[in-house]
Structure 1
Amino acid sequence: MAQNTGTPGKGTGSSGTDSSRNSSGTGTSRTGTGAGPLTLAEFRALYRHLRSTCATATADRGALETITEDVVRAAAGQVRSGRTVTLAAPVETRQTADNPEPAGHRLVAPAKDEATARGLHFARDRFTMNVHGDADSHIDALCHVIYDGTMHNGVPVGSLSADGAHALNIDMARDGIVGRGVLLDIPGLRGTRWLEPGDHVTADDLAAAERRQGLRVGKGDLLFVRVGHRRRRDELGPWDAAGARAGLHPTALEFLAGREVAVLGSDGNNDTAPSTTEGVAFPVHVLALHALGIHLLDYLQFEDLLPLCEQEGRWSFLCVIAPLRLPAATGSPVNPVAVL
């Protein structure tokens, strides 16, 4: 995504931000410190550095290679209370400022005369969805990002055709992604309800959240970074998230590469808008998917998980991510489930 190509849900949008606040002022936050705007040259140097230092950057399955059978068995040991909770938001079927192409859902049966007729009839429905929009929870396959004419690990774009993606598609995760989930709560770290659109999370923020929450992100972890996007949307209403949203600073990907994280998810898009990087609209997507082979989960929700973590006094859990079986797709709607 080196350029904005007009892909629905992944546009750069306007340069302004939605400055509305919670009336109590609790929605405000300080801007992430320790990392400023990046020039294109600085971004390319960061890209090359991550590619050269990350052990899984050229692996066939990308960072999923870090989730070994031993990692899964250890993750199963995270289960204590047995409580389960979704990390997905309900699918949106209404048009809003951040969802100009909402998912479609309608009943196609029974017909009106069938509904009251004697005998057996079925209720049936049909769904349509722009998978990579700015409202619905979804997972990005490694083929989702094209940068400098290639996909992850140099795979040529010729593997993409009108009938689908024939390499690096979401079928790579057909057996599910199961591991230790870790939630880092950045608004909790900063003492605010959410990060304002345009704010960003730095590597220092991630390390500080670890210390505050008493854990350490490790190899093969499924890392979830809360910026409070969903809480802000619930309380203040939808806004043009394509043009203004909180996310990670590109240099925060050094933290993920150093810890050998397998998956990154956020309650926003993972990328800040407006972009912090000259000439690159989605630098975090480029670094995660293209450089490091880290699958991304966008627009999750952690407002159900957050109180459970606070009640139990721990921020790690068994997590199961099960994309749909869409063999040639660039992503999938997703409903990750945390098991505490």
Structure 2
Amino acid sequence: MAIQQKSRQSGIRRKFSLLSLFEAMATPHALDRYLELVDPMTTVRDLRAEVTDVHRSTADTVTLTLRPTHQWRGFEAGQFVQVGVVIDGVRHTRCYSPACSQYRADGLIELTVKAHPEGLVSRYLHANAQVGLVVSLSQADGVFHLPTPRPESVLLISGGSGITPVLSMLRSLLDEGYSGDLTFLHYAYSEKDVSYRAELEQIAAEHDRVRIVLAYTDQTSGGDLHGFFGTEHLNAVAPWFAEARTFLCGPPGLMRSVRGVYDDLGLADRLHFEEFAAPAPTADADADGDVNFSGSDVVATNSGKTLLEQAEDAGLTPSYGCRMGICFTCTSVKTSGCTRNVKTGETDTEPHKKIQICVSVPVGDVEIEI
């Protein structure tokens, strides 16, 4: 046994030595840059995915099925991935949550993307995604997922495109044979805006212990509920909600309403949520000082916007992904000065510290390595 283990370890070391040799020979470009010229899905280190199916179930959404390369390590229901596409020669990255079960047998990933009016990547995918498109992909990340062991009762609440991570939770729980109380409450403008409506109706028909509730805010007929979220909706669909664990993802209005109700009832610790909406701070009219982008020898007058926005206004192109403080792609080193986090309101004066420039605004003079 010891001899076999030593042999395997020796084999692994030889493979890494050969890989290092090939990469050294490929300098100045990474080996994957050459391999992608032959086949974009043949990679040594880069994680990518190929679109194998495209489906448009509503007017403004597109569902993509992706086949990831061998580096993919799977995900937990509720987590997100970063998807990158090249638009006009520039790679742009955004965060999306898989909608499929984490136990999907074929190893494929399902993403449903809503085309937002200001969404560069979402609009591009909605209009141009086709079978064979290869995108960059990150490993799954995020703390929004079901706990282990599973709670005795689960309430899933979603709205709009926020359906994807909680649908993944629903599908995963069904694959596990979950036997506790389970309600899925989804909000949409009308029935035509509900992604996966046919599947949800099928789940409701096939699983007696699963309650599927569709709530329409603009449609007064059909569906199960009408209007906006409130305690009356909670009591109607899950009277046991106080003892349950609730998982929430949706647009800002729904998020605020649910969080407000749970706070008022003293149940904030039983609510788990994921926000996929960028913070919308207004520029500080009283902003002063200068922002020194030391990596580019550019100095700009502080406009009160986030450091990412100010860098772009100054003609710089820093890396970023989600633009909402989730993915940490935009992390840069603040050399000096004070910044404020627009999501938490907290200020930071520590020098030589990595910060997320998409959710950080300068307070006075700031020097940042961009």
What TM-score results when the alignment is normalised by the length of structure 2?
0.21
Structure showing greater relative contact order (alpha-carbon pairs closer than 8 Å, 6 or more residues apart):
1
Larger radius of gyration: 2
Higher strand share: 2
